[in-house]
Structure 1
Amino acid sequence: MFVSHLGMAAAVLAAAITAAPGYGQGDLRRDAERIVAAGATGVQVRVTGEGGSMVATAGVADVRTKSPVPPNGYFRIGSSNKAFVATVVLQLVGEGKLSLDDTADRWLPGLIKGHGNDGRKITVRHLLQHTSGIVDDYPFPTAIASSREYRRHRYDTYTPRQVVSRAMRHRPAFAPGEGWSYANTGYAVLGLIIEKATGRPWHAEVERRVVKPLGLTHTRWPGRSAGLPRPHARGYSVFKTGEGFVDTTRHRDADASGGLISTTADLDRFFTALLGGELLRPAQLAEMRKTVPVAKELRRIWPGARYGLGLMRRPLPCGGTYSGHGGDILGFSTRTGVTAEGKRSIVVSVSTERFDSTERALRLEAAVDRLVDRALCDAG
């Protein structure tokens, strides 16, 4: 989830959801339709349990042609990408190639400095957990406020060092380790550290270490391409009331903070494998699961939410917790989760981002939360 969209997360549902078994295909379809009714153009969702997977879609893939949402469509995963980057970093830790206590300056001397920022005091752990204090000044696609800006900047690209340089114009939000603030820039730094430690770009290491071993045949780094592979729903953004849905499918950038393209099936396989211990050694998975509270303003929206190393944990209304990582990027919103015992998992892709009002954005997110909670609680 990009920081500009985190503030639009949903309030916890007022009504409690019990853990009565029986959440079925019809329930999933109806909950997906509620997301469309709340203001989305389209949604696809996959829920996996001990009996297999259920898939449902609702809405349309294209507001002009009214074509249906493909159940296996590609989409931009946004900040769900951070879990992939964190996995590679923790694999390197397990191999002894770097340490969570290494400073940013140890790998990238002089990159983080100026206006009180000091890479000699920021560790890899701080970067992974958003406790570095670095203030985001991330350019497109996270700072677009209008359809005009989108059309003007959608093909802009920025190097990770340019992204970090922008952040260095600001004083840190707090001393490293003394607070929590979501920072896409921190993951730009982690991408550079991966490259320095391995000699290959972060996305090449993700492909080698995660994508190929798990057989994620529909997960890819788009590189310079601004489009999506077929099939896909078009991604839309609503920037202001009265303007309607703006097609924001095509754009570039996001890099290590949110650049991959995938499908619900591939993301489900990734998160269940990660949390099931297939990708990390026990010591590194335990480190990933160590969490701190998110920022106060987000705790009001997500009571009990905590953040680990590239992984978020949230409580379920029926008891227990689930872990995953969501993602928001122009045109697409992704939500993922695996229950603590690993028996149920979910991936939701909504092909709409709303910026027209906080109320509408919260209403849409609340509908997504309702689906996630009901599906993971198996509440029919």
Structure 2
Amino acid sequence: MRRGGITGTAVAMACAALALSVPPPATAAGRVALGDVQQAIQKLANTTGVVGTIGEVYVDGRRVGQGSAGSRLLDGKGGRIPPGSRYRIASQTKIMEAAVVLQLVGEGKLSLDDKLSHLLPEVATNDWVELADEITVRDLIRHTSGIPQYTDSGKFDTFDFTTPYQPIDLVKASRTVPRQGPVGQYLYSTTNYVLLGMIIERTTGHDRAAEFARRLFHPLGMNRSYLATRVSDLIKGPHGHGYYPDGQGRPRDIDRLNATISAEGAISTAHDVSTFYRALFQGRLLPPELQRQMPRPRPALCGGTVAAIEGSAPGITSATFTTTDGRLQFEVATTLKIDNMQATDVGDATAKAAEAVLCPTR
């Protein structure tokens, strides 16, 4: 997780390698054995720094368990977060964006070997991206471009809800941060996905929000999902509020988001996110050769049967735990009152909740 910007990303944004053939847990061929979702979510809510948390389990698209604990607002106020609430999925947006880019590759509108300097010549001409003539679309997807994280520039304020930025402003800010390695070496950086968003818009002639809706949300029936794009965006409908410490260490409501300084603005629900991963893992969004280009997985749970995909932004962590056959998903969204850099215990507690629910016999 990173400090000082709306994008505050999780250490690992990971999507299971879809070419893997890993069996689902326990008795997924018939009835899936699950632990107590509410109990697991309650334990997660007791973790220091948590305001509230919700979790839902889906098997073959059907919700089979749910839980909510903690509170919707700070200090126990507002009741529990309603099941089915929207939340910011943060870095999980990158997985969706990678899918959109790879669809464009499959349509012949892009190539994985296309150079950044060819697709966005201005970033090379103006030296806004170092080594732009070496960086490919594949490098951007896999975080091997070496382009630094724009939030490390210190130019963006988490609590700025009034200043509009263009994506190129974020790219320019990243140029003020020294490179830490060559092209081809892994370095997690949200700037890669800012540039991929620019490439989507340049290639299609439509903005990212329209392409997400046209290619993912509408076809999959993700009717409660949308991409935040405005300088001061609020989540629609009842939801949990997250908080982030100000300069004096006091937690401030971070319910608003300046979406112009974030490449990770997707807002969704547990149902819709599980729908996306089910479609992705079951090959309904990309052919196998392009599925293999998706980002690689972090270490899995339940004896290697479950992959984890994580996201984090100030005030929120989100996680999806999914079997690689796409049949089962456990979605968790947790609102915070601490700096994301201090939320390691929350991440550990989230993994324990997933283990308790998905691998109850271990």
Alignment CA distance shift 1:42-1:109 (3 Å): same
Say if 2:49 is the partner of 1:30.
Answer: no
Distance of 1:369 and 1:157 partners within structure 2: 36
The correspondence for 1:210, drawn from 216, 220, 227, is 216
**Quick one: which amino acid aligns to residue 234 of structure 1?**
H
Residues 69 and 232 of structure 1 are in contact (CA less than 8 Å); yes or no, is this contact kept in structure 2?
A: yes
Alignment-derived partner of residue 43 in structure 1: 53
Distance 1:170 1:238 in 2: 25
Q: TM-score, structure 1 length as denominator?
A: 0.80
Q: 1:103 to 1:348 in 2, by over 3 A?
A: same
Amino acid at match of 1:121: E
Give 1:174 shift. Answer: 1.3
State the Cα deviation string for residues 88-107 of structure 1 (Å, max 9, x = none): 10001111110111111111
Task: Quote the residue 2:332 is aligned against.
Answer: 348
Preserved contact between residue 41 and residue 60 of structure 1 (Cα < 8 Å): yes
Measured in 1, the distance between the counterparts of 2:300 and 2:212 equals 29
SS at match of 1:78: coil
**Structure 1 position 168 matched with structure 2 position 179:** no
Question: Is residue 333 from structure 1 mapped to residue 326 from structure 2 by the alignment?
Answer: no
Residue 21 of structure 2 corresponds to which residue in structure 1?
none
Stretches of structure 2 that go unaligned for 5 or more consecutive residues are 14-24
Secondary structure, aligned partner of 1:163 = helix
Question: 2:145: which partner in 1?
Answer: 132
Query: What SS is found at the alignment partner of 1:43?
Result: strand
Cα deviation, residue 261, structure 1:
0.9
1:101 and 1:124 in contact (8 A); partners too: yes
Matching residue of 1:266: 272
CA shift at 1:52, angstroms?
Answer: 4.4
Who is 1:15 aligned against? Answer: none
> What is the CA–CA distance in structure 1 between the aligned matches of 2:229 and 2:69, rounded to whole Å?
30
- TM-score (normalised: structure 2): 0.84
One-letter amino acid of the structure 1 residue matched with residue 140 of structure 2: L
Counterpart code for 1:202: R
Number of paired residues? 338
Query: What is the 5 A alignment of 1:171-320?
Result: 171-177=178-184, 179-224=185-230, 225-238=232-245, 243=249, 245-253=251-259, 257-288=263-294, 307-308=295-296, 312-316=297-301, 318-320=302-304
Secondary structure at the aligned position of 2:57 is classed as strand
Q: Deviations over 1:327-367 (max 9, x none)?
A: 11122111012112333211110011632874xx2221111
Q: 2-side partners of 1:99 and 1:55: how far apart?
A: 41
CA deviations 1:234-280 (Å, max 9, x no partner) are 1222468x945431111212667201111111111111111111111
Question: Are the structure 2 counterparts of residues 344 and 323 from structure 1 closer, same or farther at C-alpha, using a change threshold of 3 Å?
Answer: same
Q: 1:128 to 1:357 in 2, by over 3 A?
A: closer
What is the CA-CA distance between 1:4 and the residue it aligns to?
Answer: 4.8
Distance 1:369 1:219, change over 3 A: same
AA at the equivalent of 2:136: T
**Aligned-pair CA distance for 1:122:** 0.3
Q: Give the superposition deviation at 1:63.
A: 2.4
Q: Distance in 2 between matches of 1:357 and 1:134?
A: 22
- Give how far 1:314 is off: 2.6
Where in structure 1 are there 5+ consecutive unaligned residues?
10-17, 289-306
> In percent, how many aligned pairs have the same letter?
30
C-alpha spacing 1:333/1:108, structure 2 compared with 1 (3 Å): same
- 1:248–1:331 Cα contact (<8 Å) kept: yes
Q: Structure 1 residue 121 and structure 2 residue 156: aligned?
A: no
Q: 1:281–1:7: structure 2 CA closer, same or farther, 3 Å change rule?
A: closer
Give the Å deviation of 1:213: 0.1
Q: 74, 83, 97: which one pairs with 2:95?
A: 83
